[in-house]
Chains A and B, each alone.
Chain A
Amino acid sequence: MFTFDLLINAVAAGLMLGGFYAAVAIGLSITFGQLDIVNIAHPTFVILGSFVAFVINESFGIDPVLIGVVFMPIFYFLGMGLYQIYYVSFEKTGQESLSGLAFFFGLMFILEVLMILAFGVDYRLVSAAYIGETLHIGPLDLPLRMLIPAVAATLMTIAVVLYMSKTFMGKAIMAVSQDRLALQLMGADPIRVKRIALGIAIATAALAGALLIIIQPVEPSVGRLYIGRIFAIVVLGGMGSISGTFFAAILIGVVESFIATFYGPSWAPAVGFGILLLTLAIRPQGLFGRA
Chain B
Amino acid sequence: MRSFTIRKWKGRILASSLTITDVEAGYGSVRVLHGVSITVEDGESVVLLGSNGNGKSTLIKCITGIVRPSAGAITLDVDGVTTDLVGMAPQDIVGLGIAMVPEGRRLFPALSVEENLVLGAFRKEARPMIAENLDFVFETFPRLKERRGQLAGSMSGGEQQMVAVARALMSNPKILLVDEPSVGLAPILVSQMIAKIKELKDQRAMTVLMAEQNFNQAIKIADRGYVIVHGEIAYEGATAEDLSNNDMIKEYYLGA
Contacts and interface: CB of A to CB of B under 8 A. Distances in A.
A291 B95 contact: no
B119 A183 contact: yes
B229 to A, nearest CB: 27
A186 B171 contact: yes
Contact of A179 (B64, B106, B115, B154): B106
A62 B98 CA distance: 52
Contacts of B107: 179, 182
A100 B121 CA distance: 32
A201 B167 CA distance: 29
Interface stretch (B38-46, B86-94, B216-224): B86-94
Contact of B123 (A171, A175, A187, A240): A187
B225 interface: no
A244 to B, nearest CB: 13
Contact of B94 (A168, A171, A178, A185): A185
B123 A182 contact: no
Given A187-B95, A187-B122, A168 B153 contact: no
Nearest to B153: A291
Among A183, A184, A185, residue most surrounded by chain B Cβ atoms (within 10 Å): A185
A291 B126 CA distance: 29
B151 interface: yes
A175 B111 contact: yes
A172 interface: yes
Contacts of A171: 111, 115, 118-119, 122
Which residue, A175, A182, A187, A290, has most C-beta atoms of chain B within 10 A? A187
A172 B99 CA distance: 17
Interface in A218-238: none
DSSP majority for the B interface? Answer: mixed
A291 B107 CA distance: 14
Interface string A161-189: 00000001001101100110111111111
A89 to B, nearest CB: 21
Contact of B115 (A174, A182, A291): A174
Q: Which of B95, B99, B107, B110 has the most CB of A within 10 A?
A: B110
- Sorting the interface of chain B by its residue count into under 10, 10 to 19, 20 to 34 or 35 or more gives 20 to 34
B109 interface: yes
Given A172-B119, A181-B106, A183-B119, A291 B64 contact: no
A157 B176 CA distance: 39
A185 B115 CA distance: 15
Nearest to B64: A185
Contact of A168 (B66, B89, B106, B122): B122
A143 to B, nearest CB: 40
A240 B122 CA distance: 20
A174 B114 CA distance: 13
Contact of B91 (A174, A179, A187, A240): A187
B79 to A, nearest CB: 20
A240 B110 contact: yes
Contacts of B151: 290-291
Contacts of B122: 168, 171-172, 186-188
A290 B110 CA distance: 6
B173 to A, nearest CB: 10
Contacts of B115: 171, 174-175
Interface in B164-218: 167, 171
Interface in A222-271: 240
Interface string B94-120: 110001101000111111000100111
Contacts of B109: 178, 291
30 contacts: A168-B119, A168-B122, A171-B118, A171-B119, A171-B122, A172-B119, A172-B122, A174-B111, A175-B108, A175-B111, A175-B115, A179-B107, A179-B108, A181-B102, A182-B108, A183-B119, A184-B94, A185-B64, A186-B94, A186-B120, A186-B122, A186-B167, A187-B95, A187-B123, A187-B171, A188-B91, A188-B122, A240-B110, A290-B110, A291-B110
Given A171-B111, A171-B122, 7 more contacts: A174-B108, A178-B109, A181-B102, A185-B106, A186-B167, A187-B123, A187-B126
